[in-house]
Structure 1
């Protein structure tokens, strides 16, 4: 049984958009914060561009890169909290509004830069225009 291309695209768009929304808002302590619009709306714009320009594979690599950044931030925060708070009290990074805002914007920035880099790499390999 073969899966129609349109269905494959719809599923890829849904999965990537969900991964971007979850990964981009992981540092927000309040899920109703206005900052949640960055990964949701911005992620929607990036996914729409990828679907329109047939760059869903490059978007997949960019989403994976963003999640590697989430992992790096999580591990780095744990190490810093362990070293900085030797009495065992771990202060959550998301509790700080400045850190949450910087992290959310930073993670979205990682996604956009990685998407542009992977798209540019494909364009260079194919000899086509990245837009």
Structure 2
């Protein structure tokens, strides 16, 4: 697979082809699956990687669900996606995100009815 093919496979530069080898930078992967879907040789597969934990509990009648990234882990969006899967769609949820317009913010407000910025 050539460098131009690899460049076209994925959006976040998590895979780099150099003469004689392919380098993978997991910290740049956004878990979008684009590289797997578009690899012409079907040579790419996903590997599970723990990036954090999701914790749940109750305070009186209030259900609390939150995620904690592993120290040094830069990719919050996959953890936020997994956390949102655990929310009960029949009740209201308040989601908090870091300031700005980064991937974690976009992932947090995606699919929301309202957002307060």
TM-score, normalised to structure 1, is: 0.24
Higher helix share: 1
Q: Relative contact order, CA 8 A, sep 6+: which one is greater?
A: 1
Query: When you count strand as a share of all residues, which structure comes out higher?
Result: 2
TM-score (norm 2): 0.26
